[in-house]
Amino acid sequence: MPGILGRKIGMTRIIGEDGASIPLTVVECTPNTITQVKTVEKDGYSAIVLGYKELKNPSKNKKYYYQREFKVENSEEFEIGTQVTVENLKEIEKVQFTSISKGKGFQGVVKRHNFKTGPNSHGSKHHRNPGSIGSGTAPGRVMKGKKLAGRMGGDKLTFKSVPLVYLDSEKNILGIKGPIPGGKNNLVAITF
């Protein structure tokens, strides 16, 4: 199996054999279902589509809360309707996961890019402003890519080679070392 979908429950820690505290994020991975198999002949590439958590009132077109595509080398090995469970990760030590970070809205340059603040004394009107941004007369404009205020967060982030510390196949729970971006109940796509 190439991967599995789950939702972030929260963070906790476990004590290792050497007595060290290991922080981990708990991810609930209820059994996923293969909803579509894409082949080279029909679609031009080889992949499978996993569905996570069936809807209570499914429509003709939408039957799952989330669906994600995972590329595979040979999609003919898979069948539609096959269940993907946490059992597939029994022998896996490191995983790669993708998640969307928390959106923080429109933010200024101090929070967004760690700009230094201006003087906070009386009379200063330059506390959290970006300061001068132009390059002078020669270009006569602000260059592309300049760090300015704008939307922060809500980015798709991928982390590779993260240790898989804990696995409970009865409760469908995974424990991934360290933090996972996003809030509680955020969708996490795990590949291995």
Domain count, the chain: 2
What is the model's pTM?
A: 0.85
Q: 20-57, pLDDT tens digit by residue?
A: 999 999 999 999 999 999 999 999 999 999 999 999 99
- Both 99 and 186 in a single domain? yes
* CATH assignment of the domain containing 20: 2.40.30.10
43 is a domain residue: yes
**Are 36 and 70 members of one domain?**
yes
Q: Which amino acid appears at position 88 of this protein?
A: N
Whether residue 46 sits in one domain with residue 18? no
* 3-state secondary structure string across 11-74: EEEEECCCCCEEEEEEEECCCEEEEEEECHHHHCCCEEEEEEEECCCCCCCCCEEEEEEEECCC
- CA 143 to mean position of chain CA atoms: 31
Residue 158 lies in a domain: yes
Of 6, 5, 66, 8, residue with least CA distance to 183: 8
Question: Is residue 111 a part of any domain in this protein?
Answer: no
* Percent over 90 (pLDDT), the chain: 79
Instruction: Kindly state whether residue 112 falls inside one of the protein's structural domains.
Output: no
Same domain membership, residue 182 and residue 163: yes
Write out pLDDT tens, residues 8-19. 999 999 998 899
- CATH for 50: 3.30.160
* Domain around 187: 1-30+85-106+149-192
Is residue 39 one of the residues assigned to a domain? yes
